Structure 1
Amino acid sequence: MRNEYAADQGLSEDDLAADWHTQFGRWFAEAVAHPLPEPNAMIVATADAAGHSSGRTVLLKGYDPDGFVFYTNYDSRKGGELAVNPWASLVFPWFPMQRQVVVAGPVERVDRAETEEYFASRPRGSQLGAWASTQSRVIPDRAALDDAYEAVAERFADVDPIPPPPHWGGFRVRPESVEFWQGRASRLHDRLRFRRTEGGTWVTERLAP
């Protein structure tokens, strides 16, 4: 069966939507329909105050013209790094489609009401896990984590809905650039980028592969 995203298809300026979020919506819908496993999985790269970087995979939970939203423990490594250096890069690695989307921009916390709305939609087990895990901290063994989970399950046995922990919530990455990368033959890939200028307007530009 021919791959409809074959390397000879490419991505031209004529194919590109008028704005990054419409273009992302198109590609994301195609990634979901492909279907790819976890099409909303993205690599989030952050750095501490000294510039030491770290990366991890998280799940995108929403996007709109204001940016990309994910949720985490604010006391985690990424939460601590974003507190002192509120800038991140995101990579959506859609390898079977020979595509990736690369985002960079400043990061801010979402408001508490938005966090509470999303937290209420999570499975109860995931809600309890958010309370039980001291994310990114060293723990002695698996039993310590299981014991913490059992303790919070007992604590919230008669509570419904469970509220989000005070140290847990969302981040929104507000893009300064969004690059759409389409693989091509002979490593002559197509790279088209939306970039916000200092004046706040957006330009599109082609990057050499």
Structure 2
Amino acid sequence: MCSKVIGRKGVGMAAERSGIFEGNDPIAIAQRWLSEAEKTEPEDPNAIALATVDADGLPNVRMVLLKEIEADAFVFYTNFEGKKGQELAAHPRAAFVMHWKSLRRQVRVRGPVERVEDAQADAYYASRSLQSRLGAWASDQSRPLESRASLMAKVAKVTATKGTSPARPPFWGGFRIRPVEIELWADGPFRLHDRFRFVRGTDSQGGWTAARLNP
């Protein structure tokens, strides 16, 4: 669990972090901001731009949907055999940014990545629409596709063979990012933005140290 205790630097500026920045746990603040964005953002307030790296160290960035904020981690789901799944298996570290135009705020996260437990992935998969569950079986994510017609033919074949209650594909599941660094950003007048960077401590308590950054 993420400690509520933060380092001495963070305590020194606790009073400055009031209003939307109030609190010593940046994950809890991110959850609060997402809850606000769900009321104001017109589409997919949980969309994140997720960055991974390939075998040559070249970054890849794409939009995915964040499905859960845990006490000490952020969770999303994907095809393990797709580009991002392969890159995360080879280099289990990632970063993402979540930006809301309606709130004029963003959250940046970096940290190591691990797979979500099977039971948790099964539960989320079962909560998806039937069409999405069948689509997970039909798509060879990131690999060349002859045509959309061939994809839809594969969906029809999967529908006929898997029925109305398909099990989770073994090649599909969740990833959990355990952040070691989180930056909270809010737009300010004349580009004088508010930025706070939280770094997770390495001691047994695993608390957070906070620092204000220049815009």
- Looking at structure 2, the residues matched to 38 and 191 of structure 1 have their Cα atoms a distance apart, in angstroms, of 24
Q: Deviations over 1:76-126 (max 9, x none)?
A: 100010011111111111022111110110000001111101101000000
Q: What secondary structure, in the 3-state scheme, does the structure 2 residue paired with 1:88 have?
A: strand
Structure 1 residue identity aligned to 2:143: R
Per the alignment, residue 117 of structure 1 pairs with 123
Matched, 1:58 2:58: no
CA contact (8 A) 2:66 2:74 kept: yes
Q: What secondary structure, in the 3-state scheme, does the structure 1 residue paired with 2:29 have?
A: helix
The range that moved more, 120-129 or 197-206, is 197-206
Matched, 1:165 2:197: no
- Looking at structure 1, the residues matched to 18 and 69 of structure 2 have their Cα atoms a distance apart, in angstroms, of 24
Aligned residues: 196
Q: What secondary structure, in the 3-state scheme, does the structure 1 residue paired with 2:102 have?
A: helix
Of 126, 136, 145 in structure 2, the residue corresponding to residue 130 of structure 1 is: 136
CA contact (8 A) 2:37 2:102 kept: no
Structure 2 residue identity aligned to 1:24: A
- Looking at structure 2, the residues matched to 208 and 36 of structure 1 have their Cα atoms a distance apart, in angstroms, of 30
Structure 1 residue identity aligned to 2:135: G
Q: Structure 2 stretches of 5 or more lacking a match?
A: 1-15
TM-aligned CA deviation for residue 142 of structure 1: 1.0
CA contact (8 A) 2:53 2:59 kept: yes
TM-aligned CA deviation for residue 56 of structure 1: 0.6
Q: Deviations over 1:44-70 (max 9, x none)?
A: 110023211101111111011220100
Matched, 1:25 2:9: no
TM-score by length of 1: 0.90
CA contact (8 A) 1:36 1:94 kept: no
The range that moved more, 192-201 or 85-94, is 192-201
- Looking at structure 2, the residues matched to 202 and 132 of structure 1 have their Cα atoms a distance apart, in angstroms, of 43
Per the alignment, residue 8 of structure 1 pairs with none
CA 1:36–1:195: 2 relative to 1, 3 Å: farther
- Looking at structure 2, the residues matched to 28 and 176 of structure 1 have their Cα atoms a distance apart, in angstroms, of 20
Per the alignment, residue 192 of structure 2 pairs with 188
Which structure 1 residue ranges, 4+ long, deviate > 4 Å from structure 2?
none
Structure 2 residue identity aligned to 1:18: N
Structure 1 residue identity aligned to 2:56: A
Q: Structure 1 stretches of 5 or more lacking a match?
A: 1-11
CA contact (8 A) 1:179 1:191 kept: yes
CA contact (8 A) 1:106 1:173 kept: yes
CA contact (8 A) 1:156 1:162 kept: yes
- Looking at structure 2, the residues matched to 87 and 35 of structure 1 have their Cα atoms a distance apart, in angstroms, of 28
Equivalent residues in 2 for 1:34-113, closer than 5 Å: 34-113=40-119
TM-score by length of 2: 0.87
TM-aligned CA deviation for residue 198 of structure 1: 3.0
TM-aligned CA deviation for residue 185 of structure 1: 1.2
Percent identity over paired residues = 44
Q: Deviations over 1:131-182 (max 9, x none)?
A: 000000011111111111011011013xx42111100000001011111100
The range that moved more, 131-140 or 18-27, is 18-27
Per the alignment, residue 179 of structure 2 pairs with 175
TM-aligned CA deviation for residue 203 of structure 1: 0.5
